[in-house]
Amino acid sequence: MYNLVDHFIHYLKIEKNYSELTIEAYQRDLFAGIDFFSTRLEVSQEMLLPSQIDSKLFRQFLAFLKQKDLSRASIARRLAAWRSFFKHLYREGILMGSPIAKMVNPKQEKRLPRFLYQEDTKRLIEAPDSTPLGIRDKALLEMLYATGIRVSELVSMDLSNMELDRGFIKVWGKGSRERLIPIHDQAIYTMEVYLSKSRPLLAKIDCPAVFVNYKGSRLSDRSIRKIVTKYCQLINLKNRISPHDIRHSFATHLLDNGADLRSVQELLGHISLSSTQIYTHITKQKLKKVYRLAHPRA
C-alpha cells in the first residue's frame, strides 16, 4: 500500500503540480486511513491491499473520525484524499472501481472567512521598519493585499513573473493555470524600492525568487506565515491573521467598493463562481450592520 501511496504522491507533485502543503495533507490523510484499515482487518500496514477496502469498511473509518470530534471539513478532506487515491488506482488499472465513488461529502458548516478591516490592513502594511528585511516585509505584505494571491503563488514567484512597467504580475495558480493580475501604483513603488534597495543585499546571485530570506534563498510558505504573525502582534491585532486572511480581505474590500463578482473571481483564480460567492455574505452582513445603526426604527 505504501508503494502505491508514494506513486500517487509523485503523480500529484509532478503531473498535478500540487503545493507542498496540499501534498503533505494528502499523505497524512492516506496514512491515517491505512493505520485504521490495517487495524480493523488485522493485517500489517505493509500487507494491506486497496482491494480489501470496501464501502462498509470506509464508512466505519468515517464514523471513527466523527467519534474523534474531527470537524466536518477535516472529514471531507480525508474523504477527498481517498477518493482521489482510488480514482488514481482505477486509472492505473489496479482497481476495477472506487468503493467510495458514490459516497457523499458531509454537509459543511457555513463559516465566513476572516478578514481585516481596511484601517487594520493599512496599519499592517505600514508596520515594517526601513531595514533591508523590513523593506522586504513591507513589499511582501503589500503584494499579498494588492493582488490577493495565495501563499504558494507568492512563494513560487520569480523575477521573470514581474511586469511592473506594465502594471501586472504573472501568477501560476492551482493546476498550473496562468493568470495576469493588475497591481496598483503604490504596490509597484513599494516593490521597486524592495527590488532596487533591499533584495540586492539579501539575495544570492543565482536565486530567481522575488522574495528571499536572510540567507539569500527563496522564502518558504512557513516563513511568510511567521512574518504576517509578527506584524499582527506588533500592531496588537486582536485576532490572529494568516496570509490567506489577507486574500480574504482583498476580495472583501473589492466587493465593498463596487467590484463585480466575476472580476473578483478572475483575480482570485477561482474556477467556480460559487467559491467567490462566500464573500458576498460578508458584504451583506456589513450592509445589515450599517442599516441597523443608521435607520431610526432599526
Mind listing the pLDDT tens digit for each residue in 102-111?
Answer: 888 777 666 6
Are 86 and 157 in the same domain? no
- What are the percentages of helix, strand and coil residues in the chain, rounded to 5? 60, 5, 35
Q: Does 165 reside within a domain? A: yes
- Per the structure, the complete domain to which residue 274 belongs is given by 118-292
**Per the residue annotation, which of 244, 253, 284, 297 is the catalytic one?**
244
pLDDT at position 178? 83
**Per the residue annotation, which of 40, 87, 270, 286 is the catalytic one?**
270
Q: For residue 258, give every residue at least 6 positions away whose Cβ sits within 8 Å of its Cβ, in sequence order, or none.
A: none
CATH number for position 212: 1.10.443.10
Task: Check if 244 is active-site.
Answer: yes
- Specify the 3-state DSSP secondary structure of 212: strand
Are 37 and 151 in the same domain? no
Residue pair 205/216 in contact by the 8 Å Cβ criterion: no
**Per the residue annotation, which of 150, 199, 218, 248 is the catalytic one?**
150
Task: Check if 295 is active-site.
Answer: no
Where does the pLDDT of residue 175 fall: very low under 50, low under 70, confident under 90, or very high at 90 and above?
low
* The pLDDT of residue 101 is above 80: yes
Task: Check if 7 is active-site.
Answer: no
**Per the residue annotation, which of 26, 194, 231, 279 is the catalytic one?**
279
- Specify the 3-state DSSP secondary structure of 215: coil
pLDDT at position 34? 95
Total domains in the chain come to: 2
231 vs 260, residue with greater confidence: 231
The predicted model gives 199-227 an average pLDDT of: 95
* d(C-alpha 71, C-alpha 42), whole Å: 28
**Per the residue annotation, which of 174, 225, 281, 286 is the catalytic one?**
174
> Tens digit of pLDDT for each residue in 72-97?
888 999 999 999 999 999 999 999 99
- Specify the 3-state DSSP secondary structure of 268: helix
The residue type at 254: L
Question: What is the side-by-side strand order in the sheet with 162-163?
Answer: 162-163, 168-172, 178-182
Q: What is the mean pLDDT of the chain?
A: 90
Are 30 and 139 in the same domain? no
CATH number for position 50: 1.10.150.130
Are 46 and 134 in the same domain? no
**Per the residue annotation, which of 218, 247, 248, 253 is the catalytic one?**
247
Task: Check if 279 is active-site.
Answer: yes
Are 140 and 76 in the same domain? no
* d(C-alpha 122, C-alpha 116), whole Å: 10
Query: In the structure grid, which three cell numbers stand for residue 288, read together?
Result: 445589515
> Tens digit of pLDDT for each residue in 151-171?
999 999 999 999 999 999 999
Task: Check if 10 is active-site.
Answer: no
